[in-house]
Amino acid sequence: MTLTTNKSILDWIDEKVELVKPDSIVWIDGSEEQLEELRKQACETGEMIKLNEELLPGCYYHRTKPNDVARVEDRTLICSKKEEDAGPTNHWMAPEKAYKMLYDIARDSYKGRTMYVIPYSMGPVGSPFSKVGIELTDSIYVVLNMAIMTRVGKKVMDAFLDDSNDWVRGLHCKCDVDAEKRWICQFPEDNTIISVNSAYGGNVLLGKKCFALRIASYQGKNEGWQAEHMLILGIENPQGEVKYVCAAFPSACGKTNLAMLIPPEGYRKKGYKVWCVGDDISWIRKGEDGRLYAINPENGFFGVAPGTNDKSNPNALAATKKGTIFTNVARNLDNNTVWWESLDKNPPVNAEEWTGIKTNGVEWKAEGKNLAHPNSRFTAPTENCPCLSPEFENPQGVPISAFVFGGRRAKLAPLVYQSRDWNHGVFVGATMASETTAAAAGAVGVVRRDPMAMLPFCGYHMADYWQHWIDIGKTLDPDKAPKIFNVNWFRKDDDGNFMWPGFGDNLRVLEWIIKRCEGEVDAKETAIGYLPYAKDINLEGLEGEVTEESLEKILDVDKELWKEEAKGIEEFFAKFGDKVPEELEESLATLKANLDK
Ligand code: GTP
Ligand code: SPV
Ligand code: MN
């Protein structure tokens, strides 16, 4: 039984069936009965383990192959017709060559397996922001994750036009999970994604990074909107007014945490609330009133488990208490629940660590080992989140007051600063840098430029993407354009300690940001932009932890360090030749001139 009569969809599926030769084909209709049947099957084959039904109802455990635990940026390709269109920051392959390579790998790979056809919508079904995709996969784990992360099934196809060709093709083949033959390929000009030899997260949940960022960023450029690696949160003040902020931080740099933060006690007492609209991806368009509006195209959270606990992110933790899939965390064998580093202070000693090795009473930490993989994740339905915004399903999205960029910088970047105007804000985003994390395979802790946190996710030439940002700015009335800021929660002192408490206390910085948007607070003009006066960041309740003096230290602009930074930016821009928008070159010239004053 198919769920559509759309010919372009059916023809494409026929073609792929011919290629991969499945034993059978199953359309995912989105019904609970069908999903429950698949969960049962996955447990029978050992692909998933059902967790303690009393403590974690409807939750499952899964481990991937140890060679397949993170996105693989070296093997992620943008296959545009012209190499020039992928730009210097993407890996590129010519489409004919890539299709041939991928088809050779995929051919016959579903023999003895079932093809699952997943019709899904990124964004609420029927929203003008939303887009449809079809993912073919031979993995039940992928089906069950997609059913949490996106809207799937019959309702998506029922709302989709019979003659529309505006849908994204996605073929996932698990093959042998061979790291040497693993490829994650985007064909932006063909609305197509092909992923082979992986079964992990962003490599295979094709609605997420592959579609909602790489393909969608390209669609956005052509159609006049934006796809960004940004969380969306609403900050409600005691008067009940809600202001929305979108923030772009690189992978594992704090989006999920900021999106769900719990206000410090003093703020809670006054009546402040924070609402989560999204924790990873934003699709943004201009509304009829001339302001920018954002939706979260996803329907679940694929969040980093380690570090999540009832102090750092109680809302995320609560979201994982039912209907959640855990990947590569540790399993507590005493009660069949899960554990990860810093969940609590009692790591289980009768456990299986993330690859399945039994700990047999040995304390893993004492051995210097982790029980959970540093990039282990939970896949939790958004509806579980206690602070999910009432606007989450709003098909029109929420109006954005501020864009915030940020990363992990042990030195240099101050706690917060504001750009002078839109174009300077684009410069601030385009030149941000951050220490690498376990979210992608490769070295961890190396500072690299990661423009708008989109380095691994921009589906076309990065300089054209900057130009798109500049062009969007030109269409906005400056009074209605979001103000643009940069933050850094990760400054360290000379002993290597974080200088800012972070997490819930980040609301203190957001409060300053909102006040700046409303024109309610002065700022200090510096070489890099507007910085807060220390007295304007509310430190009530942080006595003994942060003082005005220690705050001054994270709000400094060290001109000598920034001159080095300017040199680094110049070298980075040189990679893009004459494609760097002149507005960004001007911002660089201004920065250098300011530093020489
Ligand atoms: P992706 O899902 O990979 O895109 O990551 P993310 O940006 O959502 O990052 P997440 O919120 O999951 O945080 C990643 C890590 O950063 C976790 O280990 C957090 O504990 C840590 N973290 C988050 N916010 C803060 C903060 O304000 N201060 C400090 N020191 N650490 C933080
Ligand atoms: C990220 O790496 O930014 C993630 C996780 O959000 S993944 O879905 O694997 O890309
Ligand atoms: Mn992410």
346 is a domain residue:
yes
Pick left, alpha or beta for residue 120 (phi over 0 → left; psi -120 to 50 → alpha; otherwise beta): beta
Count of domains for the chain: 3
Of the candidates 414, 361, 378, the residue with the CA atom closest to the CA atom of residue 533 = 414
Query: Predicted confidence band at 569 (pLDDT cuts at 50, 70, 90)?
Result: very high
* Residue 268 parent element (H or E): helix 265-270
Cα–Cα distance, 214 to 227 (Å, whole number): 8
pLDDT above 70 covers a percentage of the chain that reads 100
Same domain, 95 and 169: yes
152 is a domain residue:
yes
Amino acid type, 498: F
pLDDT tens digits for 381-404? Answer: 999 999 999 999 999 999 999 999
pLDDT tens digits for 80-112? Answer: 999 999 999 999 999 999 999 999 999 999 999
Contact 64, 329 (CB under 8 A): no
Contact 199, 68 (CB under 8 A): yes
Rounded to the nearest angstrom, the distance between the alpha carbon of 309 and the centre of ligand 1 is: 12
Cα–Cα distance, 251 to 505 (Å, whole number): 21
Residue nearest to atom 9 of ligand 2 (CA): 202
63 is a domain residue:
no
Same domain, 343 and 378: yes
Amino acid type, 490: F
Cα–Cα distance, 396 to 287 (Å, whole number): 8
375 is a domain residue:
yes
The secondary structure of the chain in percent helix, strand, coil, rounded to multiples of 5, reads 35, 25, 45
Same domain, 330 and 439: no
**Ligand 2 neighbour 415 (Cβ under 6 A):** no
Cα–Cα distance, 147 to 26 (Å, whole number): 14
Kindly state the average pLDDT of the residues 155-160: 97
592 is a domain residue:
yes
The best mutation among 71, 200, 256 to test binding of ligand 1, ranked by most ligand atoms within 8 Å of the C-beta, falls on 256
Provide the token pair at 523: 């700022």
Q: What's the domain range around 189?
A: 7-30+71-223
| Burial of residue 365 (number of CB atoms within 10 Å: 0-12, 13-18, 19+) | exposed
C-alpha torsion angle, residues 595, 89, 282, 259 (rounded to 10) = -60
pLDDT tens digits for 198-238? Answer: 999 999 999 999 999 999 999 999 999 999 999 999 999 99
Residue nearest to atom 8 of ligand 2 (CA): 202
Query: Predicted confidence band at 244 (pLDDT cuts at 50, 70, 90)?
Result: very high
Q: What is the DSSP string of 140-166?
A: HHHHHHHHHHSEESHHHHHTS-TT---
pLDDT above 90 covers a percentage of the chain that reads 98
Kindly report the CATH number assigned to the domain that includes residue 342.
2.170.8.10
Q: 362, 384, 406 — which closes off a domain?
A: 384
538 is a domain residue:
yes
pLDDT for the residue numbered 1: 83
| Residues bordering ligand 3, an ion, CB closer than 5 Å | 251, 280
205 CA: nearest ligand 2 atom? 8
Kindly state the average pLDDT of the residues 159-170: 96
Kindly state the average pLDDT of the residues 340-360: 96
Same domain, 289 and 362: no
Which of the residues 253, 387, 458, 517 is marked catalytic? Answer: 253
Q: What ligand has the least distance to the C-alpha of 252?
A: 1
Q: What are phi and psi of 387, to 5 degrees?
A: -105, 25
DSSP-based three-state secondary structure for 220? helix
Same domain, 283 and 181: no
Q: Is 517 a catalytic residue?
A: no
Rounded to the nearest angstrom, the distance between the alpha carbon of 272 and the centre of ligand 1 is: 22
Kindly state the average pLDDT of the residues 35-49: 98
Is 366 a residue whose pLDDT tops 90?
no
Cα–Cα distance, 292 to 421 (Å, whole number): 16
Residues composing the chain: 597
Cα–Cα distance, 380 to 322 (Å, whole number): 8
**Mean pLDDT for all residues in the chain:** 97
Kindly state the average pLDDT of the residues 303-311: 96
pLDDT tens digits for 498-536? Answer: 999 999 999 999 999 999 999 999 999 999 999 999 999
Kindly state the average pLDDT of the residues 29-42: 98
Rounded to the nearest angstrom, the distance between the alpha carbon of 455 and the centre of ligand 3 is: 12
Same domain, 105 and 243: no
79 is a domain residue:
yes
pLDDT for the residue numbered 365: 87
Same domain, 284 and 319: no
Of the candidates 535, 523, 590, the residue with the CA atom closest to the CA atom of residue 562 = 590
Which residues form ligand 1's pocket by a CB distance below 6 Å?
A: 249, 251-257, 279-280, 303-304, 306-307, 312, 439, 489-490, 498, 502-503, 506
Is 367 a residue whose pLDDT tops 90?
no
Provide the token pair at 66: 């140890």
Q: 177, 195, 223 — which closes off a domain?
A: 223
The best mutation among 203, 253, 499 to test binding of ligand 1, ranked by most ligand atoms within 8 Å of the C-beta, falls on 253
Kindly report the CATH number assigned to the domain that includes residue 453.
3.90.228.20
Residue nearest to atom 13 of ligand 1 (CA): 254
Same domain, 355 and 242: no
2 is a domain residue:
no
Cα–Cα distance, 302 to 327 (Å, whole number): 10
Same domain, 459 and 411: yes
Q: pTM for the full model?
A: 0.98
Residues 6+ apart with CB under 8 A from 341: 306, 307, 347, 370, 371, 372, 374
Same domain, 209 and 279: no
Helices 32-45 and 140-149 meet at what angle, rounded to 10? 140
Rounded to the nearest angstrom, the distance between the alpha carbon of 460 and the centre of ligand 3 is: 18
Compute how many other C-beta atoms are within 10 angstroms of the C-beta atom of residue 84: 12
The best mutation among 73, 205, 302, 304 to test binding of ligand 1, ranked by most ligand atoms within 8 Å of the C-beta, falls on 304
Q: What ligand has the least distance to the C-alpha of 328?
A: 2
**Ligand 2 neighbour 201 (Cβ under 6 A):** yes
Pick left, alpha or beta for residue 147 (phi over 0 → left; psi -120 to 50 → alpha; otherwise beta): alpha
Same domain, 349 and 469: no
Same domain, 318 and 271: no
Cα–Cα distance, 212 to 228 (Å, whole number): 8
Q: 190, 223, 256 — which closes off a domain?
A: 223
Cα–Cα distance, 411 to 435 (Å, whole number): 11
Compute how many other C-beta atoms are within 10 angstroms of the C-beta atom of residue 118: 25
